[in-house]
Chain A
Amino acid sequence: MLSVDKDTFQVEVLEAEGYVLVDYWSDGCEPCKALLPDVEALAEKYEGRVKFCKLNTTQARRLAISQKVLGLPTIALYKDGQKIDEVTKDGASRVNIDAMLQKYV
């Protein structure tokens, strides 16, 4: 999984072609940390079809809010730079993230 920050987000996500998944997490978010291994497993499953990125929002608050992310964990799916779907909070489980990806990929 590629770690992005407020400087690299534009290029790696908003200017990318194809499917990009962004895992929004933060230092203080325990549920996010618990979810990470599941997201990493999905990154392997979708290797070559979806680019998996993670963004630590602790240093990128304005960026997260500009992407309409105000709650963690949020897992958002982008296509050609546009956000097309997302799951958040209790809805962000391995099963649901996989189901979301299966809809498009």
Chain B
Amino acid sequence: MSDLYDVVIIGSGPAGLAAGLYAARAKMKTLVLEKSKVGGQISTTNEVANYPGSILNATGPSLIARMVEQVEEFGAERAKDHVVEVDFSGKIKIIKGEKGEYQAKAVIIASGATPKRIGCPGEEELTGKGVSYCATCDADFFTDLEVFVVGGGDSAVEEAMYLTKFARKVTIVHRREELRAAKSIQEKAFKNPKVDFIWNSTIEEIKGDGVVESVVFKNLKTGKITEYYADEEDGTFGIFPFVGYQPLSDVYSGKIHMDKAGYIITDDDMKTNVEGVFAAGDIRVKSLRQVVTAVSDGAIAAVQAEKYIEHHFGE
């Protein structure tokens, strides 16, 4: 069992890092846990244009690197571990990871979200074989090949624009008649000669032997089914679904109030229904999931955690 921490923060995306920064700066004994990549979802984003105050040409990794520097400057500890169980029933909270067990007076849940799947046959089997949810990871495999991007929101259109730097052609497949993305990004997409659109359609099935070889589209208006085959010279093409996110909250199931989709319910002070447990970032029920709202949540949660500790553990 670890030492007793004032705050243990689960997740080191922007919400967790901001919370870590504020908690450590308030001289609380702070630990930030991370199961895989520091920075969370934003670490796989190439360009970050709309984070207020970021330096010119900010990327996801560069923004996160700066946050990590600040967290370490103020003395928060960081550890790589995957949380598999939590016990929030006592005054001292217990967090069990694959590698160790941690005790804390207060916990900030900043576990974030993960990309949603399309949910069609062949998608899982061909993940990593043409189907990818990470454009920055896999764009260069598709240099001079074709790719399809599924979705109509900011992520889909932004990642499609990133893919045009590599692919010969990028086709955005959206189930509606118009995109939901911010107008300025939509304009860029419409102007780009490499970008094409398939409207009112979804992907019914992804097929291929070892790699993606064909994809089946369904037009939702007409009901028409069409199958698109990889160009013979190419042999394959890419499919990048950007159709939303789902919260990484399975481990908190039954321990904390969540909505039907699994997002954690909090008040304006990031408090959950359990005393001493707070949530920050994409995992919360909220209207806007961005780095800027995640860091705000993290800061509020850390300050609230400090107030809670003063009140309940009498400093």
Q: Pick the most buried of B98, B134, B136: most chain A CB atoms within 10 A of its CB.
A: B134
Q: Which residues of B contact A93 (CB under 8 A)?
A: 36, 82
- CB-CB under 8 A for A29 and B136, given A71-B131, A74-B128: yes
A residues lining the B interface (CB < 8 Å): 26, 28-35, 37, 57-58, 61, 64-65, 68-74, 88-90, 93, 95
User: What is B's interface to A at a CB cutoff of 8 Å?
Assistant: 36-39, 43-44, 46, 60-61, 80, 82, 98, 114, 127-134, 136-141, 143, 210-212, 236, 238
Query: Is A31's CB under 8 angstroms from B140's CB?
Result: no
12 A-B pairs with C-beta separation under 8 A: A26-B140, A29-B137, A30-B43, A31-B44, A57-B140, A61-B140, A65-B211, A72-B137, A72-B138, A74-B128, A89-B127, A89-B132
Decide if A64 touches B141 in the complex (CB within 8 Å).
Answer: yes
Please pick, from B98, B137, B139, B141, the residue contacting A31 in the complex, using a CB distance under 8 A: B137
Establish whether residues A70 and B38, one from each chain, have CB atoms under 8 Å apart when the complex forms.
Answer: no
> In chain A, what residue has the closest Cβ to B238?
A70
Partner of A71, one of B36, B98, B132, B210: B132
What is the chain A residue whose CB lies nearest that of B236?
Answer: A70
Which B residue's beta carbon lies closest to that of A92? B128
A90 to B132, CA, bound (A): 11
A61 to B145, CA, bound (A): 12
Which chain A residues lie closer than 8 Å to B139 at the CB level? Answer: 28
Interchain CB contact under 8 A, B141 and A65: yes
Complex Cα–Cα for A93 and B81 (A):
12
Q: With A30-B37, A68-B210 in contact, do A58 and B131 touch (Cβ < 8 Å)?
A: no
The answer to whether B138 and A61 have CB atoms under 8 Å apart is no
The residue on B at minimum CB distance from A28 is B136
* B residues less than 8 Å from A58 (CB atoms): 140
Nearest CB in chain B to that of A37: its residue: B80
Interface secondary structure of B, over-half rule? loop
Taking a contact as CB atoms closer than 8 A, the residue among B37, B44, B129 that contacts A68 in the complex is B129
Count chain B CB atoms within 10 A of each CB in A28, A30, A70 and give the residue with the most: A70
A71 touches B43 (CB 8 A): no
A6–B143 alpha-carbon span in the complex (Å): 18
Contacting pair B127 A30 (CB below 8 A): no
In the complex, the chain B residue whose C-beta lies closest to that of A32 is B137
- Interchain CB contact under 8 A, B128 and A70: yes
Q: Out of B43, B133, B136, B211, which one reaches A70, CB within 8 Å?
A: B211
Q: Are B140 and A28 in contact (CB under 8 A)?
A: yes
Inter-chain contacts of B138 with A (CB < 8 A): 29, 70-72
Q: Which of A26, A34, A61, A89 contacts B128 (CB 8 A)?
A: A89
A69 nearest CB across to chain B (Å): 8
When chains A and B are docked, how far (Å) is the Cα of A33 from the Cα of B38?
A: 10
CB-defined contacts of B38 to chain A, threshold 8 Å: 34
Inter-subunit contact A30/B44 (CB<8 Å) = yes
User: Roughly how many angstroms separate A29 CA and B128 CA in the complex, as a whole number?
Assistant: 13
- List A contacts of B80 (CB < 8 A): 37
For B141, give its contact among A37, A71, A90 (CB under 8 Å). A71
Does the CB pair A34–B37 fall under 8 Å?
yes
Query: How far is the CB of B45 from the nearest CB of chain A, in Å?
Result: 9
The complex places the Cα of A61 from the Cα of B140 at a distance, in Å, of 8
Q: In the bound complex, do residue A70 and residue B37 qualify as a contact, i.e. CB atoms below 8 Å apart? A: no
Q: Distance (Å) between the CB of B65 and the closest chain A CB?
A: 11
Establish whether residues A71 and B37, one from each chain, have CB atoms under 8 Å apart when the complex forms: no
In the assembled complex, the Cα of A89 lies from the Cα of B125 at a distance in Å of 11
CA distance A86 to B108 in the complex (A): 35
Cα distance, A64 to B140, chains bound together (Å): 11
Question: Does A68 contact B211, Cβ atoms closer than 8 Å?
Answer: yes
**A5 vs chain B, min Cβ distance (A):** 16
Q: Provide the bound-state CA to CA distance between A56 and B6, in Å.
A: 41
> Using Cβ atoms and an 8 Å threshold, which residues of chain B touch A72?
128, 134, 137-138
